[in-house]
Structure 1
Amino acid sequence: MKLISFLRGGVASYGAIQGDRVADFGAIAGPDEHDLVAALRLDAIPALAAEAAFDVPVSEIQLLPVVTTPGKIFCVGHNYETHRQETGRAKVGHPSIFTRFADTLTPHGGPIVRPKSSTSLDYEGELAIVIGKGGRHISEADAMSHVAGFACANDASVRDWQWHTQQFTPGKNFPGTGGLGPWLVTPDEIDDLNAVTVTTRLNGQQVQHASLADLIFPLPTIIAYLSGFTPLSPGDLILTGTPGGVGAKREPPLWMKAGDVVEVEITGVGLLSNTVVDEA
């Protein structure tokens, strides 16, 4: 199943998509199921999917970030060996974790905004995990049962702000820099996670490509580690790291600029496309 969040007639809703038709779960959900996060928390998706009809043309909706109200957004740094090597980072025994804010997210087809205060805007194609079942001290063996699904993400980075200190937070939290979408794909749609590949293209040119088999810390390890220090809740997002090939490590550096089109394609998940604009 492919789950989406969207605007229909100016009203925010959520549902599922098949081809060019949408099932509007929000139109039939109870008052406590006002968005996808609430529906995940209440485990309402199966019943809504059984009841809803795919009777809304996709032309009548405008996509939103697939999760519009995440309580927490975690990002994992240097989690592909190719990216660790190109940055010269030492091998570590635990994942490097930083956070994003919800107001940084932008949907499929929406703009990625290059801020006025920087020209060093970089792409980072990533697989995003959406938590479906909350928990604390989750074991690696049980971790994937807490996953609602997967989405494409672009953890775009304002590098000069990221490099002000050893902390990544400023460079990762400019508004409109976190692409997420176009939808959430439920785990049953993917047979072999290790065979899934993450590819980033800038203006049609491939700039990143790797499989999840190249992750330093696999998905269950990340989920278990995060739940070891904080509770995970339905709708929380985990961006699992970016492959080598980032613009900052090219000679000369390859920065995104207004008018560029950046795509993140993940096999079995989908294709996220955003156009870069300058901050107004």
Structure 2
Amino acid sequence: MNVAQWLNAIDLGQYEALFREHEIDANVLPDLVEADLEKIGVPLGHRKRLMRAIAALSAGGTPPSAAKSTSAQPSRSPPASGAEAERRPITVMFCDLVGSTGLAARLDAEDWRNLVGAYLDEASAAVTGLGGHVLKKLGDGLMALFGYPQAQENDAERAVRAALAIQRALADLNARNARSGAPELAARIGIECGSVVVDAAGEVFGEAPNVAARVQAQAEPGTVLVTASVQRQTAGLFVVEDKGAHDLKGVPAPVALYRIVRA
């Protein structure tokens, strides 16, 4: 059985790269428990759907949503193994903790792992809740895509709303952690959109990911920073502060940046 096709059949194709990263194939699938899915960052609602689909699969039945998927319009799913690379417009988000090296040095390794894990769970839930795809978790940060594997007209808007949701979730997490004396966490987020090439393995090639990473590095702690390209696509939906043009490493021309204040 092709796990990527199975995930798309149950409308959860965004987890294909995550399953591949953790080497979850058809042989491993029947042994998964909900705790395993939680550990790799799958949010609660999707965990429940996956467990129901796995149970149906083990019983030899049709996975939920499979019938619907076969009759619906073809979805924009990741290219199958061996398929040619695909060019498509996407919105890229980079989210990273500020001062994590110093914080990690102050805490026990297990406490630090739990703290970062809780933050990444909240951030991943915010991304997937708005239709995004967590492509990579990079230590104490993550890279997310909007427009892949499924594209929508408002990918840029959903990316910005997800970024604001991450900052709100982090504030709530800090409030809960304050009771135990845990240090406050602050994240900075950068967003860019543009045309990229996505290969059969789900890797993304193009200028947009590089620019998004550089924009994230320019953001102040606790803020969301976007390029002019994102601002043009979301104009009127958010209150923004013009931060002027910035020279970004590796980018030939200055890039106009905007801080998202609120919806």
TM-score scaled by length of structure 1: 0.25
TM-score scaled by length of structure 2: 0.26
Structure 1 or 2: larger strand share? Answer: 1
Structure with greater Cα Rg: 2
Structure 1 or 2: larger helix share? Answer: 2
- Bigger relative contact order (CA 8 A; separation at least 6): 1
